């Protein structure tokens, strides 16, 4: 009984093994006592009533023992039971049972005689001392001129009824056996229906542990099994996404590190070849090397944030910060970058921005990622607008650009780690971590970031922060 299938079948069969025999025994007892014996008693009572009706038409038999014996003999030929004629005081007048011949003319103590005279009829069953013995009897009084003249007593041994009991019991046993077979079959089918999806899930988990490709399982079976399979499919999809993300991360790392390393190698080779003797060229090469190193440092920062996110919730150094001065300081460097690219730069910051509890360094990193994308993907001649204000108990900071915009089908995925848009769209380059990092940092502050974008008309990212303190 170690397998689930065997235990499920046993769980179906055990109740049947207990209930069906009890039900069968009860049915056999009720059928024998309430159906067969009751039917015999009813039939015996009807026959006794019929004999009494006939006997009332022959009043002389109650006063002539010879006529009484002839009457009982002729009536007894047509009845299965024994017929007895008794006077009203219990005297035996005639009987079809040869054993009663010695008691003719004697007064007998017949159970139920007084009851029959008082009620008009009486039926009793004596089951006997041993199985298969006993008899059923019916007593019906005979009235002549409205006076009880005598009593007709019909007795039928129960041996004929008991002879039917084995056939009845055999039939009930066969019905119980068929019920058990059907129960075992249904238990087997139900067990197989429950075992198959569990076996598939077990096999898929084993393949997962062995590093084999994952496959989604059909969600079939009982509700609990479907929930289990749904959880497995969710896990499989998450693992597949993680594997794809890992491969994208590796490819992006090779791409993003290879470019600055190649530039650094070229600069080093140029300096080693004598370029350091030209002061102007040396400054250009050193400046380019510094820019490439800063790009690599930014990449390292993004990977560090990704690692911190994998470890758990971000830890923030919250402190009161005046948003007006802090925000002006954050966006100031990007004004020069936008102007160098030929973009129009505009800020619209409310003067009454409050003081709020934030981690200024972490939140600055989030905003810089958003502003960096706006400057990076807005073509020359375009415009970048940074605005901020207070509304409905929240502080909002919006970065709007006139870049190419984001297709609707990609807007829900731009905050996904490692996601990069299709070629020609807004996010075809980079690691695909900037907006994901920005969203995580804003969420850690209890805020949210929303996107509004129309392809060809630009995008607007709005950061909403809870308004915690007054200025």
pLDDT tens across 443-454, in order?
A: 888 899 999 998
Q: What is the pLDDT of residue 345?
A: 92
The percent helix, strand, coil of the chain (3-state, each to 5) is 55, 20, 25
> How many angstroms from the chain centroid is the CA of residue 389?
48
Q: Which residues contact 380 (CB under 8 A, 6 or more apart)?
A: 341, 342, 343
Is residue 448 included in any domain, yes or no? Answer: yes
Q: Using the 3D structure, point to which of 277, 312, 347 is the last residue of a domain.
A: 312
Residues 303 and 162 in one domain: no
**CA 337 – CA 346 distance, rounded (Å):** 13
Q: Are residues 44 and 113 in the same domain?
A: yes
**Residues whose CB falls within 8 Å of the CB of residue 310, separated by 6 or more in sequence, listed in order:** none
Query: Both tokens of residue 440?
Result: 């995580």
On the question of pLDDT at 471 being above 50, the answer is no
Which CATH number characterizes residue 324's domain? 3.30.565.10
Determine, yes or no, domain membership for 210.
Answer: no
Q: Is the pLDDT of residue 423 over 50?
A: no
Q: How high is the pLDDT of residue 329?
A: 85
Residue 353 falls inside a structural domain: yes
Residues 332 and 444 in one domain: yes
If pLDDT is split at 50, 70 and 90, which confidence band does 120 have?
A: confident
**How far is the C-alpha of 175 from the C-alpha of 290, rounded, in Å?**
93
Q: How many CB atoms lie within 10 A of CB 289?
A: 17
Cα–Cα distance measured from residue 449 to residue 397, given in angstroms and rounded to the nearest whole number: 9
263 and 402 housed in the same domain = no
Considering only residues 136 and 15, tell me which one the structure prediction assigns the higher pLDDT: 136
* Structural domain includes residue 214: no
Measured distance CA(59)–CA(244) in Å, rounded: 112
- Comparing CA positions, the residue from 294, 435, 419 lying closest to residue 374 is 435
- Same domain for 358 and 253: no
Residue 436 half-sphere exposure toward CB, CA atoms < 13 A: 20
Name the residue range of residue 254's domain: 221-312
Q: Helices (DSSP H) in 94-222: which residue ranges?
A: 113-119, 159-162, 165-209
Looking at the structure, tell me whether residues 308 and 324 fall in a common domain: no
CA distance 162 to 37: 9
Band (pLDDT 50/70/90 cuts) for residue 427 is: very low
Contacts (Cβ under 8 Å, ≥6 apart) of 381: 342, 343
pLDDT digits (tens, 9 = 90+) for 144-160: 888 888 999 988 877 66
Taking the C-alpha atoms of residue 31 and residue 432, their distance in angstroms, rounded to an integer, is 82
Answer yes or no: do 377 and 348 share one domain.
yes
DSSP string, 403-464: S----HHHHTTTTSTT--PPTTSS--SS-S-HHHHHHHHHHHTT-EEEEEEETTTEEEEEEE
Number of domains in the chain: 3
What is the percentage of the chain residues whose pLDDT exceeds 90? Answer: 11
pLDDT at 428: 43
Q: Fill in the DSSP letter of residue 384.
A: E
In a shared domain, residues 8 and 153: yes
The C-alpha atoms of residue 395 and residue 360 are separated, in whole angstroms, by 15
**What is the CATH classification number for the domain harbouring 254?**
1.10.287.130
Q: What number is the average pLDDT over the span 34-53?
A: 78
One domain for residues 304 and 331: no
Instruction: Return the closest-CA partner of residue 361 out of 314, 393, 399.
Output: 314
**Residue 175 counted as domain residue:** no
361 found inside a domain: yes
Residues 239 and 154 placed together within one structural domain of the fold: no
Q: In this structure, are 143 and 22 located in the same domain?
A: yes
Beta strands 92-95 and 122-126 are unpaired
- Whether 173 maps to a domain, the answer reads no
Q: From residue 19, give the alpha-carbon distance in Å to each of 9, 166, 336.
A: 16, 21, 88
Q: What is the CATH number of the domain that holds 68?
A: 3.30.450.20
pLDDT at 425 over 70: no
Domain boundary among 167, 198, 233: 167
Long-range (24+ apart) CB contacts under 8 A made by 50-54 are 51/75, 51/79, 51/83, 51/140, 51/152, 51/154, 52/140, 52/141, 52/142, 52/152
**How high is the mean pLDDT of the chain?**
78
Dump pLDDT digits (tens) for 57-84.
888 898 888 899 999 998 888 887 889 9
Taking the CA atoms of 96, 100, 103 and 107 in sequence, report the sign of the dihedral they define. negative
For range 398-421, the mean pLDDT: 80
Distance CA 202, CA 194 (A): 13
Of 312, 327, 345, the residue at which a domain comes to its end is 312
Q: Domain for residue 183, yes or no?
A: no
Are residues 287 and 432 located together in one domain of the fold?
A: no
Q: What is the pLDDT of residues 268-310, one digit of tens each?
A: 888 888 877 888 877 877 877 886 787 677 667 666 665 555 5
Q: Which residues contact 218 (CB under 8 A, 6 or more apart)?
A: 197, 229
């Amino acid at each position: 009984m170690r397998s689930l299938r065997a235990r499920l079948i046993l769980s179906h069969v055990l109740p049947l093994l207990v209930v069906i025999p009890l039900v069968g025994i009860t049915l056999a007892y009720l059928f024998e006592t309430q159906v067969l014996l009751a039917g015999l008693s009813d039939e015996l009572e009807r026959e006794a009533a019929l004999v009494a009706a006939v006997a009332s038409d022959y009043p002389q038999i109650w006063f002539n023992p010879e006529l009484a014996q002839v009457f009982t003999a002729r009536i007894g030929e047509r009845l299965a039971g024994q017929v007895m004629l008794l006077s009203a005081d219990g005297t035996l007048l005639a009987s079809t049972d040869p054993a009663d011949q010695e008691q003719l003319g004697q007064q007998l103590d017949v159970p139920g005689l007084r009851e029959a005279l008082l009620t008009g009829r009486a039926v009793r069953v004596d089951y006997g001392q041993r199985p298969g013995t006993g008899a059923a009897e019916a007593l019906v009084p005979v009235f002549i001129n409205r006076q009880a003249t005598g009593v007709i007593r019909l007795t039928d041994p129960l041996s004929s009824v008991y002879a039917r009991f084995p056939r009845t019991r055999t039939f009930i046993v066969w019905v119980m056996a068929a019920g058990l077979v059907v129960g075992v079959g249904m238990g087997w089918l139900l067990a197989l229906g429950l075992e198959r999806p569990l076996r598939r899930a077990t096999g898929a988990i084993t393949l997962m542990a062995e590093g084999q490709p994952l496959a989604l399982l059909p969600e079939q079976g009982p509700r609990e099994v479907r929930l289990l399979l749904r959880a497995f499919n969710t896990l499989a999809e998450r693992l597949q996404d993680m594997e794809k993300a890992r491969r994208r991360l590796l490819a992006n790392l090779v791409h993003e590190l290879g470019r600055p390393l190649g530039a650094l190698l070229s600069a080093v080779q140029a300096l080693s070849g004598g370029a350091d003797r030209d002061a102007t060229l040396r400054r250009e090469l050193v400046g380019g090397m510094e820019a490439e190193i800063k790009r690599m440092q930014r990449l390292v920062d993004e990977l560090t944030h990704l690692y911190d996110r994998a470890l758990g919730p971000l830890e923030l150094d919250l402190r009161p910060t005046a948003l007006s001065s802090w925000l002006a300081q954050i966006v100031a460097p990007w004004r020069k970058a936008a102007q160098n690219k030929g973009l129009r730069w505009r800020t619209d910051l409310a003067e009454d921005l409050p003081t709020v509890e934030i981690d200024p360094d972490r939140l600055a990193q989030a905003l810089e990622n958003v502003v960096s994308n706006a400057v990076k993907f807005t073509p020359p001649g375009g415009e970048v607008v940074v605005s901020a204000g207070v509304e409905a108990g929240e502080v909002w900071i919006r970065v709007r650009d006139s870049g190419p915009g984001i297709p609707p089908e990609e807007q829900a995925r731009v905050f996904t780690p490692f996601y990069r848009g299709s070629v020609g769209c807004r996010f075809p380059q980079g690691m695909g971590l900037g907006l994901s990092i920005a969203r995580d940092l804003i969420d850690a502050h209890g805020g949210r970031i929303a996107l509004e974008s129309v392809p060809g008309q630009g995008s607007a990212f709005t950061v909403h922060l809870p308004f915690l303190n007054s200025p």
